[in-house]
């Protein structure tokens, strides 16, 4: 069996001081066994593009990284990946900032990755490419003569043809994705959107329900939802319940309920609508005044993009407005922080929260929903309020499913959660916990890689 070669936009080297495991690192922890190779961008920019990969080893895993020049970084990452692809694939076409030279920079960096990765490959390596920044990489590797099995997994949503074709390069992107042997998605809807988009972009012959052949190359698709290490996160939550930070939070609540939201500061997360819904809770159900606080942790991200700065200002304004309208000398309705908080501390906060608010406008999966479930005390669990537009909602049907655009519906769901009888909370949580135990981070890796190794070529 050949090595696993993981390729992602960013590689966070474990030897870097202060480095913390990102979501992808956590998801792939079980797959990255000694002998594996992880390839991607180093995070360094400003000089010239690397003429070869920088290779290091840590605990038996090889890490190979490349640096990017400032212009390529701006076009590839800030420009096309996050200015065009990110809003497009989250159905926010009005926010697309498209420039043709950004797309050329995107393709150029994918080509650079291919050129620096190819010399490191062995004939029986299995290549697993991750996410929207690298949609043309499989095609670039094929042009260089790479014949290895290639899998591509998209962690964010995929849109139907009517939305996809807003992008001038939609056809090229889909053709490039089809150079992989297996393309994976978080939900059945995302896979269907890709298959319909492929049919709209190229001549192809369908292979069953899940694949097609184009120009003699067979491309199969799969749905393998990303999960978490449920037992590990539950242990962390139990430990964190006794930590200083958690005890301080409990003390500050003075017996009041806590609703919690944990998100990156991103317009896809629906945070202004979430704040509006929390304010509506007090208008529609004034009996909850002074009885609940919202803790919203929204770690800053992509601060070099104007719309993210604008979002932060809007949330600052909303938090101030709600607190100005409702707070008392000993109670603040909204506690809003934009600094990062470590996962163990967050696990403890989840455990004491009566409501977990996961209300994105669109999300590939959203692991916060699964972490909140895992962190709960099964004997006295909180209630998950979950957007119907999160990939997690396809499976986690025992949550209170809401439309995040309807602030009154979200407010009413919070009201329902606060009044829910203990036996119903326990039953809903038990069903949700059983589901996330079925689809863990380890099972995600196994399911995708097993299928990739078995794809008929």
Task: List residues with catalytic annotation.
Answer: 155, 363
Of how many residues is the chain composed?
457
Asked whether 127 and 151 are in contact (CB, 8 A), the reply is yes
How many angstroms separate the CA atoms of 137 and 109, rounded? 9
Cβ pair 69, 47 in contact under 8 A: yes
SS3 label, residue 213: strand
- According to DSSP, the residues that pair with 58 across neighbouring strands are 61
Contact (Cβ atoms closer than 8 angstroms) between residue 236 and residue 350: no
Instruction: Write the burial class of residue 251 (CB in 10 Å: 0-12 exposed, 13-18 middle, 19+ buried).
Output: exposed
Angstrom distance (rounded) from CA 261 to CA 125? 40
Residues 333 and 290: their CA atoms lie apart, in Å, by 7
Pairing type for strands 149-153 and 126-130 reads parallel
**Rounded Cα distance, 132 and 8, in Å:** 9
DSSP codes of every residue in 358-386: E--SSBS--HHHHHHHHHS-TTS--EEEE
* Residue 40 three-state SS: strand
Write down the residue that tokens 């059945």 correspond to: 188
User: E strands along 276-326, which residues?
Assistant: 292-299
Is residue 425 within 8 A of residue 383, CB to CB? The reply is yes
Q: Cα(124)–Cα(279) distance, rounded to whole angstroms? A: 57
Q: Which residues contact 236 (CB under 8 A, 6 or more apart)?
A: 343, 344, 347, 375
Rounded CA separation 358/236 (Å): 20
Three-state DSSP at 262 gives strand
The residue written with tokens 């069953």 in the block is: 208
* Tokens coding 36: 């594996």
Other beta carbons less than 10 A from residue 37's beta carbon: 23
């Amino acid at each position: 069996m050949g090595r696993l070669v993981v390729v992602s936009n960013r590689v966070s080297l474990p030897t870097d001081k202060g480095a913390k495991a990102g979501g992808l690192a956590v998801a792939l922890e079980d797959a990255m066994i000694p002998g594996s190779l992880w390839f991607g961008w180093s995070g360094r920019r400003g000089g010239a593009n690397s003429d070869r990969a920088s290779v290091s080893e840590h605990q038996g895993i090889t890490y190979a990284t490349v640096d990017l020049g400032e212009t390529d970084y701006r076009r590839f990452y800030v420009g096309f990946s996050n200015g065009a692809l990110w809003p497009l694939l989250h159905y926010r076409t009005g926010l697309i900032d498209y420039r043709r030279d950004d797309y050329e920079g995107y393709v150029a960096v994918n080509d650079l990755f291919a050129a620096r990765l190819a010399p490191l490959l062995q004939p029986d390596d299995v290549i697993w490419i991750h996410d929207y920044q690298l949609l043309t990489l499989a095609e670039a590797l094929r042009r260089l003569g790479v014949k290895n099995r290639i899998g591509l997994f998209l962690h964010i949503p995929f849109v139907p043809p009517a939305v996809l074709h807003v992008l001038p390069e939609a056809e090229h992107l889909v053709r490039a994705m089809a150079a992989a042997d297996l393309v994976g998605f978080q939900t059945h809807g995302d896979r269907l959107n890709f298959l319909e988009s492929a049919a709209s972009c190229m001549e192809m012959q369908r292979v069953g329900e899940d694949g097609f052949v184009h120009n003699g190359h067979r491309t199969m698709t799969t749905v393998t939802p990303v999960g978490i290490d449920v037992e590990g996160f539950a242990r962390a939550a139990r430990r964190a319940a006794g930590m200083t930070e958690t005890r301080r939070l409990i003390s500050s609540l003075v017996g009041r309920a806590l609703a919690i939201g944990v998100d990156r500061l991103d317009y896809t997360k629906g945070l202004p609508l979430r704040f509006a819904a929390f304010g509506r809770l007090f208008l529609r159900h004034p009996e909850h005044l002074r009885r609940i606080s919202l803790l919203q942790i929204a770690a800053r991200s992509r601060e070099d993009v104007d719309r993210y700065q604008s979002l932060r200002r809007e949330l600052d304004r909303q938090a101030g407005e709600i607190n100005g309208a409702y707070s008392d000398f000993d109670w603040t309705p909204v506690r809003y922080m934009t600094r990062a908080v470590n996962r163990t501390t967050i696990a403890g906060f989840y455990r004491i929260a009566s409501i977990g608010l996961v209300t994105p406008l669109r999300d590939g999966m959203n692991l916060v929903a699964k972490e909140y479930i895992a962190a709960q005390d099964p004997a006295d669990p909180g209630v998950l309020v979950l957007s119907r537009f999160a990939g997690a909602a396809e499976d986690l049907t025992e949550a209170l499913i809401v439309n995040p655009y309807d602030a009154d519906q979200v407010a009413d769901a919070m009201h329902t959660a606060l009044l829910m009888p203990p036996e119903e909370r326990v039953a809903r949580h038990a069903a949700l916990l059983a589901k996330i135990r079925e689809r863990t981070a380890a099972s995600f890796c196994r399911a995708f890689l097993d299928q990739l190794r078995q794809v008929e070529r």
